[in-house]
Amino acid sequence: KYLQEDELSDECKKLLLTLPKERGWFVSHIYNYQGFWAIPRVIQGVIACQQQFQAQDSDIILVTTPKSGTTWLKSLLFVLVNRMKYPVIEQNHPLLVKNPHDLIPFLEIRLYVDGLVPNFASFTSPRLLSTHLPFASLPKSVQDSKTKLVYLCRNPKDTFISMWHFINNLRLHHKDIHPIEEKFESFCKGVSPYGPFWNHVLDYWKQSIEKPNKVLFLMYEEIKVQPKLQLKRLAEFLECPFSIEEENCGVIDEILRMCSFENLSNLEVNTNGKLSTEELENKAFFRKGEIGDWKNYFTTEMSEKLNYVIEQKFQGSGLRF
Ligand code: A3P
């Protein structure tokens, strides 16, 4: 179902005829809508969410580039924000029985997908939501409200490798895997899900500098290297800082342990479970969880080429990968 295109609305089918398209990642084609690339089913979800979603000031929205560690940050966010309601030591904590994507749903690929009308009645405040949308394409109410945006990105080389594995995993039943060279060329051209990658990252980077109370900019590598510091930054940004007592009791370490790759990837729900609305297996979101796996796949030429692109795109921004 994740890959099907035949259930699109007539309006969306008509729109697709007018959009630039390229050979796809997940499905046959990927289309450029509002300056970013997405598959048809996602575009339909994006339009619905842009038209219908009403943000609340208390909302917290996690925005990520695909394969940057969304699953990890969803788990950290959920446990952090709900730590009074669900103490970390609780045996039946929701994170132990549900995949993070079921706890913090995506707007455009979950709540508003396939013409669904989401029911927010079961959400408690603050509502925890997520999206991969570029800043300019966020629903207007998100931009106009005091909704907080937590942004996560990752080194483009590891992001690319993670994405390449993910699509091949999803396409297993097709029996043909995408040649890495072909997908690499697309990625460098900016043609990747929600890409160009650099535009996505740079737009949020600028917003985080202009509006530090609205957008927090996080990097996968920084969380890996300094997890405590980054979790404290996140807590402070969300106005739920750790108290001295919590720090002394080891709550920060406990949250990090609970959300670690090792812990999450070994839970029954994440080894044998499937997402509640998709056929997607939860284990697809846990592969290696390391920095630098690109070195096992990139040739020297690939590395040099992407270095060049990164340098061109990010120069002067103050951002380094
Ligand atoms: P790799 O494919 O490099 O292993 P996303 O959640 O945005 O889809 O990103 C998936 C990537 O995050 C995968 O990277 C996955 O292994 C990694 N990941 C998932 N859970 C993690 C965790 N708890 N800690 C660190 N990395 C994690």
Predicted ipTM of the assembly: 0.99
- How remote is the CA of residue 206 from the centroid of ligand 1, in Å? 25
Q: Does residue 59 contact residue 147 with C-beta atoms inside 8 Å?
A: yes
**pLDDT for the residue 275:** 82
**pLDDT for the residue 1:** 53
d(CA 84, CA 198): 37
Other Cβ atoms closer than 10 A to 20 = 10
Residues present in the chain in total: 321
Gyration radius (Cα) of the chain, Å: 19
Q: Is 31 helix (H, G, I), strand (E, B) or coil?
A: strand
Residues lower than pLDDT 50 in the chain? none
- How remote is the CA of residue 285 from the centroid of ligand 1, in Å? 6
**pLDDT for the residue 175:** 61
**pLDDT for the residue 168:** 87
Minimum-distance ligand 1 atom for the alpha carbon of 288:
4
**pLDDT for the residue 173:** 60
**pLDDT for the residue 170:** 78
**Which one from 132, 165, 178, 200 is the annotated catalytic residue?**
132
**pLDDT for the residue 90:** 78
**pLDDT for the residue 91:** 84
- How remote is the CA of residue 64 from the centroid of ligand 1, in Å? 12
**pLDDT for the residue 237:** 98
Q: What are the CA-CA distances from residue 113 to residues 22, 78, 130, 170, 175 (Å)?
A: 22, 22, 13, 18, 27
Q: 162, 219, 221: which to mutate for ligand 1, most atoms within 8 A of CB?
A: 162
Q: Is 222 helix (H, G, I), strand (E, B) or coil?
A: helix
Regarding the beta carbon of 64 and ligand 1, being less than 6 Å apart is answered yes
d(CA 6, CA 16): 13
